[in-house]
Structure 1
Amino acid sequence: MEKSQSVTFSQFTQNQIQKLKDAFQYIDEDGDGVISQKDLRKILSDLSKQSDEMQLQEMIGTEKEGITFPEFVSIMGERIESLPEETELIEALKTFSKENEEMMIKVDELETYLASAGFKDKKELDKVLQHFVTKQVSGGQVFKGKKFLETIGE
């Protein structure tokens, strides 16, 4: 990997490493311990995502046959490090929530807040939110912030 600062196993909890291992094994379709272009093509197809050979080669790296588990951990670690801290998410949800304990936010309000922050793809947003939204008796929908945090946490 060409990163000057690599992510190591010691930066993850056992639970996180197990989740990464499960994800790696799921993507490694043929079980050979390497995520190949063929493995990526299959998982992307299963997710209804189109990809060409050039994109797959870019994902793997131009001079490699595939991604090993340690490389996968490093790649995912870099992605995880770029995510906001849980405390930041909690504070943001509490700011927008009228009822802080469950951190519930009206979906239309949340969509407005996220759109103003740069999240413009409503279709993608709806895909993510659908798992954390409940309908109210009044007919409106509410995003369940606490459930969201529990799901993305360990």
Structure 2
Amino acid sequence: MAPKKAKRRAAGGEGSSNVFSMFEQSQIQEYKEAFTIIDQNRDGIISKDDLRDVLASMGQLNVKNEELEAMIKEASGPINFTVFLTMFGEKLKGADPEDVIVSAFKVLDPEGTGSIKKEFLEELLTTQCDRFTAEEMKNLWAAFPPDVAGNVDYKNICYVITHGEEKEE
């Protein structure tokens, strides 16, 4: 019977280690710091009271119990650090598949060059739907600078959106 328990524990450990492999060590450290800030009573679990306290510290004083419960219910159980990290991993993996995003960009690229003009993309992103701010545009161009002709490689953007890092060429 003991070997079965050990085996089950090892299998559970593998599942939790997968979430850690989704992130760089520096990202895990940042999430750990955020978790520690949210875990106001330092018991290793984020509770409704922890959320209420951290929201109050940010000026959100009249948060309804139902809202807090909804936040807590997003997790499958008590929110320890591994669950917290898993929740972030799931949110980050929530982007559309790469081919879907590339197809959306291809509509803007009738010649099929794999790139679009910076000015055109900037106009779309700052005037349509969830409009980008000037700061967001600055960050976009810092991460994905256009080439000397002013073209932006949208396939690289799509790759980073879905994989979280630039392709190595």
Bucket of the pairwise TM-score, normalised by the shorter protein: 0.5 to 0.7
Change (3 A) 1:85 1:65: closer
Question: Match of 2:4?
Answer: none
User: How many residue pairs were aligned?
Assistant: 119
Please give the secondary structure, in 1, of the residue aligned with 2:127.
helix
**Displacement of 1:69:** 0.5
Which structure has the highest strand share of the two?
Answer: 1
Change (3 A) 1:26 1:96: farther
Letter of the structure 2 residue corresponding to residue 53 of structure 1: N
Change (3 A) 1:96 1:60: farther
**Displacement of 1:52:** 1.0
CA RMSD across the alignment: 4.1
CA distance in 2, matches of 1:30, 1:39: 7
CA distance in 2, matches of 1:130, 1:43: 29
Which residue, out of 17, 29, 42, partners 1:18? 29
Q: Tell me, yes or no, if structure 1 residue 55 matches structure 2 residue 50.
A: no
Question: Match of 2:93?
Answer: 81
Listed as ranges, the gaps of 5+ residues in structure 2 are 1-14, 106-114, 145-160
CA distance in 2, matches of 1:96, 1:29: 47
Listed as ranges, the gaps of 5+ residues in structure 1 are 120-124, 133-142
Q: Which has the larger radius of gyration?
A: 2
Change (3 A) 1:130 1:68: farther
Question: Match of 2:112?
Answer: none
> 1:1-154 to 2 correspondence within 5 Å?
8-49=19-60, 50-61=62-73, 66-83=78-95, 95=116, 97-98=118-119, 105=122, 109-113=124-128, 115=129, 119=130, 129=133, 131-132=135-136, 143-144=137-138, 145-147=140-142
What is the TM-score normalised by the length of structure 2?
0.51
Change (3 A) 1:147 1:84: farther
**Displacement of 1:51:** 2.3
What is the TM-score normalised by the length of structure 1?
0.55
Question: Match of 2:155?
Answer: none
Please give the secondary structure, in 1, of the residue aligned with 2:116.
helix
